[in-house]
Amino acid sequence: MAKPASETSRDSPRGPVWPHLRGALLLLHLVAITLMALPAPVGSDQRSNYEGPEAEAELQALSDGLARVGLDVPPDAIVDWSVSTSARVLALRRAALAPFQPYYRWAGTRQGYRMFSAVALRGNRLTVEVDRGDGWELLYLARSARHTWRRSQLDHELTRSMLDRYTRKRYRKRYDAVTEWIARQVAVDVPDAERVRVSFRHAPIQTAAQSRAGEIPPTLQRRTRVVEVRR
Amino acid sequence: MIGAMWGRWVEATSRTEGPETMALFRIGIGLTLMWTVVTAWTSGAVDLVWTDAEFGGYRSLHESALVGWLGGASPRVVHGLLGGSLLGGALVAVGLGGRGSAFFALQAFIPIARLNSHANGSFEHLLTNALWLLVLCRATGAWSVDQRIARRRPPEIGVWARWLVLAQVILVYGTTGLQKTSSSWTPLGGFSAIYQALRDPAWQRVDLPWLGWLAPLLAVSTAAVWLFEIGWLLLPLLLWWRATDRGGRLGAFVRTHDPRPAILAFGLAMHLGILALMQVGGFSVLTLCFYVALWRPDEIRGWTTGRPR
C-alpha cells in the first residue's frame, strides 16, 4: 500500500507481536461492520410486508417489467419466490453474524442501512381531537402550523419513527397503547376534556402533476380510536 | 502470496500520522451526541418513547439489559443515562479523559439507543459506531484539554483510525445506495423518490405543496444522489490512485484534479437540504463529521496554520 510522505512507519514499542495482533483485530472489526451493513432482505421473509398499495404497485411494476422481456411471472409468484429466498438469505446472515453479536452489543457497532430504500406513496398525519361536551375540537394535526398541542413531543423524529411504524395493522396493540397515553396527556392539559379521539389522516401523496394542478387527493380517517378520559 | 499480503497489511496498519483529523472527528461526534440528547430531552419525546409503561410511558421496555438491571426505564434511570450521555458528549468534544470519556459516553448512550426499537432511526447506530472508533484511537492528541494539560508535542496516532472512519462512511453510503431498489429511484418510477420523500408527512419538516413545480430538478437530484451514494464504493480506489502513480489516465486525472472538494460540496448540499427540509434528527450533521477523514492531518494542519499542503 502506498505511503504518503505525511505518514510514518515505526517499530512498535509493544514488541513484534503487537503489530500483527492489531492488524488482526482491525481486520475483524472491518469484517464485523461490513457483514452487518451488507444489504439484507430484512422483513422480506414475511408475507404481511407485501400487502398495501406501495408493495402491490412495486410488484405489479416488476411483473410488467419481466413480461416485457418475455417472462410471465405474476405478482403472487414473485412474492412466493421473494419470501422463500429472503428466509434462506436471512438464515445465512444470522449464522454469519452470530460470532460477532457480543461485539455489536458491547461496542455499539450494529449498523444496517435501509434508509428510504422504498418511499411511501401514501402519507399519514396523526390527529388528536378532544370533546369537552360540545363536539370534537382539533388539538393536534401533524405538520400543521395551527393545531400544535404537544407539537415538540409528537413532531420529534423518535415519535415520528414510532408513529410511522404504528400506521401498520400488525402494530394495532401498540397504537392503542399510544392513544391511551395521548388521552392521559390530554386529561392533564385540558381539564374539562371528556373524550379524546386519535386517528391518522390518510391520503395518497400528491403526485407532481397533482401538485402543479392544485388537486388535493381524497383523505380518509384511519385507525380512529375514541378514549374516555379518566381522572 | 497470503504471507506477503499480510505483511503489507501489518506494515500499513503500523503507520502513524498526526492527530488533527481524528481530533476534528472527535469534536464533531461529541457535539452531535450532545445535540441528540438535548433535542430528545427538551422535546419531551423521552417521556413518551423511552419511559416504561410502569412509569408513565406507553409500552413495556425490556430491550436493554443494563436498564433492566438498573430497575427499568423509569424517568430517574432514563434521565440519568441521558445526563451521562450528555456529560460524555461534552467530555469527548473538549477532549478530556482520553478514550475513557468516549467509552463512558458510549456505554451511557447504547442502552438509550436500544431502549425502544420502535422509536429510532439508523443514525443512533452510526453514532455509537463513531464513539467506538474514538475508544479505539487516541483522538485527544490535538485540540483537547488533555493535550493542554500534558503540554507536550502532539502525539502520532495510527493512520488506521482515519481509515476506519472512512470505511464506516463508505459502508453507510454504499450499502444505503445498494438498497435503494424501489422503482421510484429508477426511470421506471420517474426518479420520483426525493419528491415523494419530501412530501411524505412522516418525515417532512413542513409540507411544500408547490414542490411539483420542481419535479424535474428533483428527478435529476434523485439520480444524482443514488449515483453519489453508490460512488462512495469507489472512494478507496480514488484515494489509492491519488497516493500512487497507478490508474492510467483516470489516475492521472484524480491526481491533478482533487475530487474531495467536489465530494464535500455535494455531500454538504445533500445533507443541508435534508436538515432543512426533513426531520430525521442528527443524521446529516453526524454523517458530515465522517467527511473529515477524507483529509490527512498534515492537510488540516496546513489550513489551521494558513500554510496549505
pLDDT for A230: 75
The pTM assigned to this predicted structure is 0.91
Q: How many CB pairs under 8 A join A and B?
A: 241
Question: Hey, is the C-beta of B74 within 8 angstroms of any chain A C-beta?
Answer: no
pLDDT (tens digit, 9 = 90+) per residue, A167-225? 988 899 999 999 999 999 999 999 999 999 999 999 999 999 999 999 999 999 999 99
- ipTM field: 0.92
CB atoms A177 and B59 under 8 Å: yes
pLDDT means per 10 residues, chain B with 309 residues, are 92 95 98 96 94 94 84 94 98 97 97 90 88 96 94 90 96 91 86 95 93 97 96 96 92 95 97 94 94 96 75
Give the closest of A39, A124, A157 to B175, CB-based: A39
The domains of chain A are located at: 17-119, 122-228
Measured in angstroms, the CA of A131 and the nearest CA of chain B are apart by 22
- A10: pLDDT strictly greater than 70: no
Question: Hey, is the C-beta of A192 within 8 angstroms of any chain B C-beta?
Answer: no
| Residues on chain B touching A22 (C-beta within 8 angstroms) | 13-14, 158, 160
pLDDT for B281: 87
pLDDT (tens digit, 9 = 90+) per residue, B298-308? 999 988 777 65
| Residues on chain A touching B125 (C-beta within 8 angstroms) | 108, 110-112
Percent of chain A residues topping a pLDDT of 90: 68
Strands A122-131 and A136-141, by their bridges, are: antiparallel
